[in-house]
Structure 1
Amino acid sequence: MAFPGPAFLALWNDVTPQHAHEYNRWHTREHVPERVGIDGFIEGRRYRHATPGQREYFTVYGANAPEVFRSQAYLNVIEDPTPWSVNMRLTLTHVLRAPCRTLGSAGSGTGGALACVRIHGAAPAPQAVSTLLAACAALDGVVAAHLGEVFTAQPNAFARWTAAEMPTHVLLVESEDIDVARNLSAGIGARVVDALPVLDTPNVDVYSMIFAIGHADVDASLRRTR
């Protein structure tokens, strides 16, 4: 099944500066693969910012159903973390976590960079979703675009990370490289305003991909059995 699938989980965060090196090792070597190894996950991707002033890291997981983010297998990983995860959770700051039902996608393939748009607004009509995604996918240098509607799936361990700026929708626009994503960010935001019933100006963050792994590629040693 192609990324992101019927659902995706979007996460933004910073990390205390003195732990940045260990964070990146942990996130690539254990954290993302451990989750992607769970049945129902399609792929995990992690990104780093290209613009000062926004959250430094963005991670997104694709799944074959929204229920995957409420599954017992996923909750087991969260509620029974590894010792490394226990230590690293203490270093995370400014965490924002948004599970989404995928409303639609346009284009195909994987881009090396991402314009990630946090949207606050009412539920869009299907035609508005199609119009927005087609407009984004048609931009020169864009590979694919995906729109998700945020739903509630907050494990108890993450309750402290509930944020006032939780979006209602998340738009992911994959581009060829970071220069394309940066140059198109204002135009993407304008297309969101034109197509969707937004309540305020969308937040557009720009990231470069630093790691991706698919479900089938996760080493057996990182697959949790409970």
Structure 2
Amino acid sequence: MSLLGKAAVAMWWSVRPEQRAEFGDWHSREHFLERMSIPGFRRGSRWTSTTDAEGFFVLYELEQYDVFTSRGYLDRLNAPTPWSTKMMPHHLGMVRSQCRIAASFGGGGATSLATVRLSPETSRETALQTHLSETLRTLAQQPGLTGAHLLLTDTPRTNSPTTEQQIRGADGAADWIVLLSGYDPDVVERVTADQLSPSALDAAGTRDNPTTGRYRLAFTMTPQDVAEV
């Protein structure tokens, strides 16, 4: 799949087993509808970790980067519903990155996803970005895969944490993010362990040992779905 728009929110967190059923209901039946009603939100997807029983990855795709500072988005972040206020403390180990989409290749849906969080060596940012863009363009055309993307975290400057952030506590943030999606989980796994392995990425100019996650699709929604509810 190619990403919709020019910006994205990429998030990782854990939910304990005793909270997962209510979390799924809240996130699917209220929170996604709320987010997809914000002008500029194009698509949301939630992915369940296949290696961590408590882990999730969520991606919101935005039309433009300035949606991050829009009144519609900030008003929502500062006025959580009662159900959101109840559920936010159960988002454990939150890593939340507001990103510009630097490269996006592919088309079609996906059921499997790998995420790679990485940081460039200080003197090799340009060369690494070029290398990753070229690699991802090629990978997106490979049978079994549907998309390959590069996101660069660019956190907007704000005066204070939003109400939702205050409820959760301090969020972490990724630096650069690679997403690899596909309809064949074996291909996603093989490519992640080969061209996108820590050793391959280190050789291309990353530092601090990239972090890889593997996921299956749990839920997705677009603004058109909200209109039909």
Q: Normalising by the residue count of structure 2, what TM-score does the alignment of the two structures yield?
A: 0.85
Letter in 1 for 2:42: I
Cα RMSD of the aligned pairs, angstroms, is 2.2
Report the Cα offset of residue 56 of structure 1.
0.8
Deviation readout 1:160-182 (Å, 9 max, x if unpaired): 3332xx32111111111433323
Distance in 2 separating the partners of 1:96 and 1:115: 16
User: Where do residues 70-219 of structure 1 align in structure 2 (5 Å cutoff)?
Assistant: 70-121=69-120, 122=122, 123-125=125-127, 127-153=130-156, 155-157=161-163, 158=165, 160-163=169-172, 166-190=173-197, 191-195=200-204, 197-219=205-227
Amino acid at match of 1:98: S
| Kept in 2: contact 1:6–1:64 (CA 8 A) | yes
2:58 equivalent to 1:50: no
**Quick one: which amino acid aligns to residue 4 of structure 1?**
L
| One-letter identity of the residue aligned with 1:15 | V
Question: Which runs of no fewer than 5 residues in structure 2 stay unpaired?
Answer: none
**Quick one: which amino acid aligns to residue 145 of structure 2?**
V
C-alpha offsets along residues 33-79 of structure 1, whole Å, 9 cap, x if unaligned? 211211101100011001137x6111001011111122111111111
Structure 2 contact 93–171 (Cα < 8 Å) conserved: no
Match for 2:48: what amino acid?
Answer: R
Work out the percentage of aligned pairs sharing the same amino acid.
30
* Aligned positions, number: 216
Contact 1:50 1:178 in 2 (8 A): no
Offset, 1:131:
1.3
Give unmatched runs, 5+ long, in structure 1: 222-226
Are the counterparts in 2 of residues 120 and 168 from structure 1 also a CA contact under 8 Å? yes
